[in-house]
Amino acid sequence: MDRRAIGNGHLWGLGMTELVRLTDITKVYQGGVTGALNGVSLTVEEGEFTAVMGPSGSGKSTLLNLVAGLDRPSSGSVMVAGADLGRMGEAALARFRRDRVGFVFQFFHLLPNLTALENVLVPAQLRSNTSAESRGRELLKQLGIEEIADRYPAKLSGGQQQRVAIARALINRPTLLLADEPTGALDTRSGDQVMDLLMQLHRQGQTILLVTHDAKLATRYAARVISVLDGRIVDDARLETAERAAVDVIRVRGEETRR
Amino acid sequence: MSLKYGVLGLLAEEPLHGYEVKNRFEAMLGGTWEVNIGQVYTTLQRLERDGLVRPVGARGDRGKLLYELSEPGRKALASWLAQPESGPQELREDIYVKLLLAARVANSDLGPLLSRQKRTYLQRLRDLNQLENRARRDGRFDLARLVRGALLHTEADIKWIDELSETAISGDSE
């Protein structure tokens, strides 16, 4: 395992900058244990594609919401891009969310009375950036859905809606892209397309934190897979990304030939 | 399965000599089963002895002998193909036994072992994902199906490890 960590070069690699640091996080919910966190520490480097994996109720979404500044921990600290979220007031936190993070949810959360393009532009307008339209169109183009810019969400397929949501998440050039089960409401094909898009963004340098219950999805795209169970990180695996020969991965074997 | 039906299946397409059987068999399995040429010849001889294949003509170029499927061979193949696989499930990996023994020997802190094993399975899942993609890219959809099977098995292994980890955390009440 150590060999892998070193071979992967993430920790000791060149010029990696720490983007997220969670220290001794606990999160207690009144009246229930589901989604709670119990002593979580974690760092994410800039440019990483990390998957946080666990069953429902394990706390993985809670973890993402804390990093996004959507929720506050009961104890412990959350640092993102050098900022201590615990020291921020509500207004500063709202600014942080708007400027620093892009969020993609399972159920898209598009505003039904705005067109696709208008949805994409919402975060830019919150920032009084009125010149964002060309970037919005450019993003829709990059995501392969430029032709639906003026349509309303109800007229879009799930895959198209999720791509609109991704464009919206990217409009303010976030430091960190957070995705919570982004393919959970999509069929396999649209899900693959959405994930391929995230992968493309990652190759362009986007830091991505993906939350999923799906091990296949996690390992297919993320080179680092963090397992969360019962509110704790039980494993943090950095995977080798080099392609292997088939014979080193699967071996179909028969019984020994008998006489 | 033994090599026997692999050989019969390939000969059902056309007569082949031993080396072609080896090459085609390995290509069919995309390199996931390496066959010893000696094993192929032994299998062919045994099949000939049992009347399931027969040589075509005489030894040709560099002593190569072509084999074809006989009628009994064709029947044996058809009935094998139609038969679902039965018999007990085989768990070939050591981890199954290792976990039982670790619980006895190491005073039952299975956490580190489970976590390392999970890592191995995650890596395998990633490798299988790549293999599946490669097979599809190369138009080898038959091979992609084989890899799918392996993928699903590995997903099940991961679920199993997760369950064990959960009982390790919450304490075994049995």
Identify the band that residue A3 occupies on the pLDDT scale cut at 50, 70 and 90. Answer: very low
Question: Does residue A234 sit in helix, strand or coil?
Answer: strand
Specify the amino acid at residue A259. Answer: R
Identify the band that residue B1 occupies on the pLDDT scale cut at 50, 70 and 90. Answer: low
What is the number of helices (H) and of strands (E) in chain B?
7, 3
The distance of A51 to chain B (nearest Cα, Å) reads 12
Among candidates B115, B122, B150 on the partner chain, residue whose Cβ is nearest the Cβ of A215: B122
Helix orientation angle between B18-28 and B37-49, rounded to the nearest 10 degrees: 110
Closest alpha carbon within chain B to A215 = B155
Tracing tokens 């994409």 back to the chain, one arrives at: A120
> Cα–Cα distance between A191 and A158 in angstroms, integer?
9
The distance of B72 to chain A (nearest Cα, Å) reads 19
> Cα–Cα distance between A93 and A170 in angstroms, integer?
18
The distance of A224 to chain B (nearest Cα, Å) reads 10
Q: Could you tell me if A219 and A239 are in contact, meaning their C-beta atoms sit under 8 angstroms apart?
A: yes
Which of B2, B90, B119 is the best residue to mutate to test the A interface, defined by the most A CB atoms within 10 Å of its own CB?
B119
The pLDDT of residue A5 is above 60:
no
Kindly list the residues from chain B whose CB atom is less than 8 angstroms away from the CB atom of residue A235: 115, 118-119
Among candidates B32, B126, B166 on the partner chain, residue whose Cβ is nearest the Cβ of A219: B126
The pLDDT of residue A2 is above 50:
no
Q: Could you tell me if B41 and B18 are in contact, meaning their C-beta atoms sit under 8 angstroms apart?
A: yes
Q: Could you tell me if A234 and A65 are in contact, meaning their C-beta atoms sit under 8 angstroms apart?
A: no
Among candidates A220, A252, A259 on the partner chain, residue whose Cβ is nearest the Cβ of B32: A252
Q: Could you tell me if A202 and A208 are in contact, meaning their C-beta atoms sit under 8 angstroms apart?
A: yes
A32-45: strand order across its sheet? A32-45, A18-29, A75-80, A83-84
Per-residue pLDDT tens over the stretch A51-78: 999 988 899 999 999 999 999 999 999 9
Tell me what pLDDT residue A9 has.
39
The pLDDT of residue B111 is above 80:
yes
The three-point CA angle A27-A29-A34 to 5° equals 90
Among candidates A229, A244, A259 on the partner chain, residue whose Cβ is nearest the Cβ of B127: A244
> Cα–Cα distance between A49 and A8 in angstroms, integer?
13
The three-point CA angle A177-A178-A180 to 5° equals 150
Tell me what pLDDT residue A31 has.
74
Tracing tokens 């994410």 back to the chain, one arrives at: A44
Kindly list the residues from chain B whose CB atom is less than 8 angstroms away from the CB atom of residue A213: none
**Rg of the Cα atoms in chain B:** 22
Are the beta carbons of A237 and B118 separated by less than 8 Å?
Answer: yes
Q: Which of A20-34, A147-161, B94-108 bottoms out in mean pLDDT, i.e. has the lowest?
A: B94-108
Cβ within 8 Å of residue A201, ≥6 positions away: A170, A177, A208
Per-residue pLDDT tens over the stretch A203-225: 999 999 999 999 999 999 999 99
The pLDDT of residue B163 is above 80:
yes
Question: Measured between alpha carbons, how far is residue A16 from residues A19, A45, A48, A129, A246 in Å?
Answer: 9, 6, 9, 31, 32
Per-domain residue ranges of chain A: 2-240
Handedness of CA A13, A19, A24, A26 (dihedral sign): negative
Q: For chain B, what percent of residues have pLDDT higher than 90?
A: 62
- Enter the tokens of residue A50: 């990390």
> Cα–Cα distance between A17 and A24 in angstroms, integer?
21
Cβ within 8 Å of residue B73, ≥6 positions away: B8, B11, B47, B51, B52, B53
Identify the band that residue A92 occupies on the pLDDT scale cut at 50, 70 and 90. Answer: very high
Question: Does residue A115 sit in helix, strand or coil?
Answer: coil
Which of A219, A247, A253 is the best residue to mutate to test the B interface, defined by the most B CB atoms within 10 Å of its own CB?
A219
Which of B127, B136, B166 is the best residue to mutate to test the A interface, defined by the most A CB atoms within 10 Å of its own CB?
B127
Mean pLDDT of A81-110: 90
- Give the CATH architecture of domain A2-240: 3-Layer(aba) Sandwich (3.40)
With 0-12 / 13-18 / 19 or more C-beta atoms within 10 angstroms meaning exposed / middle / buried, residue B89 is exposed
Are the beta carbons of A250 and B32 separated by less than 8 Å?
Answer: yes
Write down the pTM of the prediction. Answer: 0.83
Question: Does residue B104 sit in helix, strand or coil?
Answer: helix
A146-179: b or e for each residue (b if 16 or more CB lie within 10 Å)?
eebbeebbeebebbbbbbbbbbbbbbbebbbbbb
Q: What is the 3-state secondary structure (H, E, C) of B157-172?
A: HHHHHHHHHHHHHHCC
Closest alpha carbon within chain B to A250 = B32
Provide long-range contacts, Cβ within 8 A and 24+ apart, for A193-198.
A193/A159, A193/A163, A194/A159, A194/A162, A194/A163, A194/A166, A195/A220, A195/A221, A197/A143, A197/A163, A197/A166, A198/A49, A198/A166
Tell me what pLDDT residue B172 has.
52
Kindly list the residues from chain A whose CB atom is less than 8 angstroms away from the CB atom of residue B43: 257
